[in-house]
Amino acid sequence: MEVMVVLALIALIGGAILVLVNPLQQTQKARNVKRKHDLDVMRKIFEEWYTDKGCYPKPSDVCYDAPKNICTSSQFDFQTCSICGLETTSPVLKPYLAQLPCDPKHGAYEYVYQPRDSTISNTKSCSVDAQSAMSSACPEEFVIYTKFEYAAADYVDSDSVNSGCSRLGCGLNKSQAIAPTPAYGFDYVVTSPNKSSVSTSNRYYCISNGICNECGTDYKACLAQSGCTNKNSIYPSLNQCCSENSGACH
């Protein structure tokens, strides 16, 4: 009995030391856990919505900001918008949810919602008014994106990897669509059951000798590259590396 008490005390002290040694990293991990929980809650609520209405929510049903048109080949494809129940312009989703979730660092981080109605995709010009583009839509699929915080360069979230995102690898490559898009840079997603896949990056870049260079097909490969001296500056697309490092691309 005494041995068990001693072992329990050692485990408790050890956990306290970890928090004290790196409180920032522990806090960031806790926020990442909340982000995953929030997205999972919304996925379940949106399925209930679909069961009742035969459609998933439109941007006006859940987003606090104006939707953005995402287009391919100058044709309207789908929209993205941001979810945060703390915003005064956020819709109320009762009786499904008292208040929509909000990223714990809202302002710097957002929950990005991407609904799609295939019956209107590629039937309208990209210049169609964003507010009216999906006003009568009946979205049959969705994706919700979130981004994590990383205090340590070698920290890898297993749920992020399992969702196919690796690190920062989910989203849309800017070269695939007319901006603005949810570019590569998201760590975790939830989708409707009929969403077959989410675009993921298979080319990562890092700064080597002041230049953006390809370093591998996933984040872990770049971590192992000796040329990637700054492990906190690894990017899931060349566009992102170039845009965040002035003069690194010619």
Same domain, 143 and 215: no
User: Which has more pLDDT, 164 or 52?
Assistant: 52
Same domain, 116 and 144: yes
199, 176 in Cβ contact below 8 A? yes
Cα dist from 179 to 73, 128, 146, whole Å = 12, 15, 19
Q: Please tell me the distance from the alpha carbon of residue 60 to that of residue 131, in angstroms, as a whole number.
A: 8
Q: Domains in the chain: how many in total?
A: 2
Range of the domain at 237: 204-244
pLDDT of residue 18: 46
- Report the range of poorest mean pLDDT among 16-20, 26-30, 108-112: 16-20
User: Which has more pLDDT, 229 or 81?
Assistant: 81
Span 17-44, average pLDDT: 84
208, 227 in Cβ contact below 8 A? yes
Same domain, 171 and 51: yes
pLDDT above 70 covers what percent of the chain? 85
Same domain, 134 and 220: no
Q: In sequence order, what DSSP letters do the residues of 160-204 get, joined into one string?
A: HHHTT-TTT-BSB-GGGSBSS--BS-B-EEEE-TT-----B---E
Same domain, 40 and 91: yes
The secondary structure of residue 102, as a DSSP letter, is: -
User: Which has more pLDDT, 168 or 190?
Assistant: 190
pLDDT of residue 59: 93
Confidence of residue 15 (pLDDT cuts 50, 70, 90): low
Same domain, 39 and 66: yes
pLDDT tens-place string over residues 174-213: 555 555 555 678 889 999 998 867 888 888 898 888 889 9
Tell me the three state secondary structure of residue 121.
coil
Q: Residue 53 carries which side chain, given as an amino acid letter? A: K
In a domain, 96, yes or no: yes
In a domain, 249, yes or no: no
Cα dist from 91 to 45, 86, 159, whole Å = 14, 10, 29
Give the mean pLDDT of the chain.
83
In a domain, 135, yes or no: yes
